[in-house]
């Protein structure tokens, strides 16, 4: 986006966009509703630490009325609880989970594998080290001396129906609709992992308003054959 648009000095541009950081955009998008009027996401299981407390944590607190946060003590247990929630609601509603970087993210893998095999929707939003790599390494960062692009989040690729690493808020324009589409597809649903670097969580970007709109989501179910 050019500098003029970034500064938001166009009146028409302001009517169609909303200047937000990546973290509130994720929270607002998660506040969608089912066809019955229930929130699509029942809330967020969270274990805060280095990589998500100052970014995602702040956004969840700001939007706590429409998207409640439930504090947890174990990352794997958060996903198992999210699985139970999805099963209890016949996969029509789901939960998100957020963790810190490093071991906090790798603890999600075993439970995410269960959700993957059984096609149960859950949204892990894991913290990741800085895209700028300015404060590198950071606390509890899982490092790979042979590949600077590898992080603990990559362990979730094999157990995710959709995986995306957000390195700029503009990528949410495509990532969020894809994530919701997979989570609400009866055949494809399962864990959808969004890796969110710490500095990207705090970036400000003019997102189109339709991305933030709390739309109603109808989840179709294929009927069994009559014969």
Q: What is the pLDDT of residue 13?
A: 34
pLDDT in tens, 146-178: 787 888 899 999 999 999 999 998 898 889 889
pLDDT in tens, 46-62: 999 888 888 888 889 98
Which parts of the chain have pLDDT scores under 50?
Answer: 1-18
Q: What is the pLDDT of residue 3?
A: 41
Q: What is the pLDDT of residue 44?
A: 95
Q: For the structural domain made of 23-132+144-210, what CATH number should be given? A: 3.40.50.970
In this structure, how many other beta carbons lie within 10 angstroms of the beta carbon of residue 208? Answer: 12
Provide the whole-model pTM.
0.80
Residue 88 burial (C-beta neighbours within 10 Å; 0-12, 13-18, 19+) = exposed
């Amino acid at each position: 986006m050019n500098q003029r648009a970034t500064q938001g000095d166009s009146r028409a541009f302001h009517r169609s966009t909303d200047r937000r950081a990546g973290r509130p955009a994720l929270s607002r998008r998660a506040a969608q509703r089912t066809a019955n009027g229930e929130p699509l996401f029942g809330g967020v299981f969270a274990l805060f630490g280095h990589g998500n407390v100052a970014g995602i944590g702040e956004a969840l607190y700001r939007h706590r009325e429409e998207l409640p946060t439930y504090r947890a003590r174990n990352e794997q247990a958060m996903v198992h609880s999210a699985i139970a929630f999805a099963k209890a609601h016949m996969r029509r509603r789901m939960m998100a989970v957020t963790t810190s970087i490093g071991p906090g993210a790798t603890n999600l893998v075993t439970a995410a594998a269960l959700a993957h095999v059984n096609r149960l929707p859950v949204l892990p939003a894991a913290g990741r080290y800085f895209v700028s790599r300015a404060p590198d390494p950071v606390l509890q960062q899982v490092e790979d001396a042979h590949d600077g692009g590898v992080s603990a989040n990559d362990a979730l690729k094999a157990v995710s129906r959709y995986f995306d690493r957000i390195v700029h808020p503009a990528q949410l324009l495509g990532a969020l609709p894809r994530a919701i589409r997979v989570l609400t597809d009866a055949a494809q649903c399962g864990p959808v992992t969004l890796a969110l670097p710490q500095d990207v969580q705090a970036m400000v970007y003019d997102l189109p308003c339709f991305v933030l709109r709390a739309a109603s989501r109808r989840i179709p179910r294929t009927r069994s054959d009559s014969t």
